[in-house]
Structure 1
Amino acid sequence: MKEHSIKLSILSMLADGSFHSGEGLGVALGISRAAVSKHIKGIQAWGVDVFSVQGKGYKLAQSMQLLDQQQLEANVNVPLALIPVIDSTNQYLLDRIHSLDSGSVCLAEYQSQGRGRRGREWVSPFGCNLYLSMYWRLEAGMAGAMGLSLVVGVAIVEAMEKLGISGIKLKWPNDLYYQDKKLAGILVEMSGQAGSAAHLVIGMGMNLRMATDAQGITQPWSCLNDVTNHEIDRNQLAAELINTLESALNDYEMSGMHGFVERWNRLDNFLDRDITLIMGNREVTGVSRGINEQGAVLIETAQGLETYIGGEISLRGSAS
């Protein structure tokens, strides 16, 4: 954190979207104009679009709302760590599970090693999106975590609905979609021993505002700004997600999947559509019929209604 303090201070000053001279930034921070230029290059390496105009100075391509620790803490009831630059919010919590209270949250502005399912990279430019992880101690143990990522997906969509954001759907087992394009991903990482509580770290990365030429993304994607057509209050969104997720996990702890199946099926992006479920070298084609009480996906095939607990869904005849 300390080594990034000057870059973060520069970003805080540039966040208003106005021009700031290199000289003015240097005076405010007690550094040279050359040092300012060097830090700007470091900021650009975080994926921030900063440009300079001779005689005017530096300017962000778009204004930026930074996450605010005090504002967040005033609106949530769980321990919260805001670490602007981090390797991975999930990894931060995984490294500390034995000293954390259940419900503890880590947020970041930028992840250098953000990851999705199966070790995939999650592209994480600074200040554009939302990177959030929560630690949860599940007393029911690892066997009780079946279907938990589905519950998390429901909670995230319902949180956005509370903010008046509609049209978001779920892709089994762990993605959020808007108009058949990926909006957010969920990664649940778990550890524990048989007969004891399970330690869960639930990570979420959501696209809020991404450059149209974003590098490293290999599938169709969307941003929340595409849904709302206006800038999202990132602090308000983060607080609502945290509170709704905590409530949903408490419900899940008490009642398991009961009540969540109907809530999930209401939001299923692929319900009653032709799909292909890909499981390694095997493919199953049929019509999606939602999920069951165990969190398995239901597919109506030529052989009848079949259930599956693993694999990747795609629309039949098109990558998704």
Structure 2
Amino acid sequence: MTEKIRRWIHTNLFSSPLMGLLTVFTIVVLAVVLPALFRWAFLDAVFVGSSRAVCGGGACWAFIADRLDQFIYGRYAPAERWRVNLAGLVLLAFTALAIWPRNPFRVLCVALLVTLCPAIVGVLMVGGVFGLAFVPTDQWGGLSLNIILTFATVAISLPLGVLLALGRRSGLPVIRWACTIFIEVLRGVPLLTVLFMAMVMLPMFLPEGITFDRLLRAIVGLSLFVSAYFAEIIRGGLQGVPRGQYEAAAAIGLGFWGAHRQVVLPQAFRLVVPGIVNTVIDLFKDTTLVSIIGLFDLLGIVGQSLKDPNWLGLGREGYAFAALVFFVCCYAMSLFSQSVERRIKSARH
């Protein structure tokens, strides 16, 4: 074991003079920074309190504890927050069934995840039916808004991305060029521009007196933007499927849609799992941009809470908490992607 550890240290930390110098420099920096950071974050920190007055020289985590409900639920009515929790459990249950590798009804569960699940979550969150109080979307916020935006956008943009990828490979010039223009235009402009277009320009093209909810317009803008990236990722997967698979599907009598649904697309998705998950992670982080158009996600709620006279000057704690939450969520998605890749690799062997 000692020899194995020594070999690992030599290979990964001291494989060359430059690598050894960087390793020593990193150790020195960590030795200087980590004790001070630990003292600020834990030893001198304050964890309980109702105002800035309780804070000392360390981190004032009392601010996070006092505002934790708002960071999760936004301005959602406290008496109705059980609906947000239930919606999260429904989403988690449908997702778990859809990704469970031994589920014999996995295809059906995936279909329900993008059809029935959004309907149930929408009814729970909005209300107005079945005796549930109506909660307008301008009261939604916090981490729950980031999750809802990510889920809704992926549910819409992933199927649209598949259609765009197939359209770009179409033999019909009109369809191919239309899909190509859509993809390249959306990939060539900043996401913030797309969101502003959805907020400002979309209502101008609607008939007089007809408008869409602000959250719905944000979902539409995000979905169109992300679908262009999904289309290119999936197109790369389609190009990675051997030509013989297409010929084999045609030989057993499958048409275009049957061949892609049963033979080509399953293989293409296995090739592009890292790219899809990476795009979802980017999307989850990009949902923070909606605070610029008047929707207050976790980062927006943190910024609003810092304006409270009782908690002025605690930006480090607020943004450190937001960074930690986003890191945990994104790292969990990355670990899931790695586990899927390992299962695919083991299945091939």
TM-score, normalised on structure 2? 0.22
Q: Which structure's residues are more often helix, by fraction?
A: 2
TM-score, normalised on structure 1? 0.24
Whose Rg is larger?
2
Question: Which protein has greater RCO, CA pairs closer than 8 Å, 6+ apart?
Answer: 2
